[in-house]
C-alpha cells in the first residue's frame, strides 16, 4: 500500500525536499584522442576542481565519457554540476582544464529547472 502526500510532514520527509529552482551546468571536453589514460586524467583534473572549489556553492552530479558516434563524431568527457553560481564554476573549470592538451575545445550548457510539483510516498518492501 502506498500513502502519498504533497507536503513534507515528518523530519525525514523535510530532509528530502528538493530546491524550488535547480540549475544544471554541463561541461563537455571534446577530446583529440581517447585511450586508457584519458579517464584517469579527467578524473584527476576533476578532483582538482573539487579541491579548489572553496566558495563556489555547487553539487557534483555525474561524470562520464561518450564515445564517438553516440551523439556526434567527437569523443567527449562530460561533467554535470548543480549550482546557482555558474560564472564562478565556469572560471574554475577553465582554470583547471584550460591547459589540457588532449582537449580540442570545451562546450557548456546551462539548464534551469523550476519545481512544478513534489510528492512524497513510501513503498512497502
Residue 55 scores a pLDDT above 60: no
pLDDT digits over 100-125, tens only? 898 888 888 888 888 888 888 777 78
Q: Domains of the chain by range and CATH?
A: 21-117 (3.30.70.100)
So what's the pLDDT on residue 39?
Answer: 86
pLDDT digits over 26-46, tens only? 888 888 888 888 888 888 887
Torsion sign over Cα 95, 96, 97, 102:
positive
So what's the pLDDT on residue 53?
Answer: 60
Q: What is the mean pLDDT of the chain?
A: 79
Contact 30, 117 (CB under 8 A): no
So what's the pLDDT on residue 79?
Answer: 83
Amino acid at each position: 500500500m502506498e500513502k502519498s502526500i504533497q507536503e513534507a510532514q515528518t523530519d525525514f520527509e523535510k530532509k528530502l525536499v528538493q530546491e524550488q529552482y535547480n540549475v544544471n551546468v554541463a561541461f563537455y571536453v571534446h577530446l583529440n584522442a581517447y585511450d586508457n589514460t584519458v579517464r584517469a586524467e579527467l578524473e584527476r583534473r576533476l578532483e582538482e576542481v573539487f579541491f579548489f572549489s572553496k566558495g563556489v556553492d555547487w553539487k557534483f552530479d555525474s561524470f562520464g565519457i561518450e564515445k564517438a558516434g553516440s551523439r556526434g563524431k567527437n569523443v567527449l568527457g562530460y561533467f554535470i554540476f548543480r549550482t546557482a553560481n555558474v560564472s564562478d564554476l565556469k572560471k574554475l573549470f577553465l582554470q583547471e582544464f584550460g591547459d589540457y592538451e588532449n582537449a580540442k575545445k570545451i562546450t557548456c550548457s546551462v539548464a534551469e529547472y523550476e519545481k512544478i510539483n513534489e510528492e512524497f510516498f513510501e513503498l512497502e518492501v
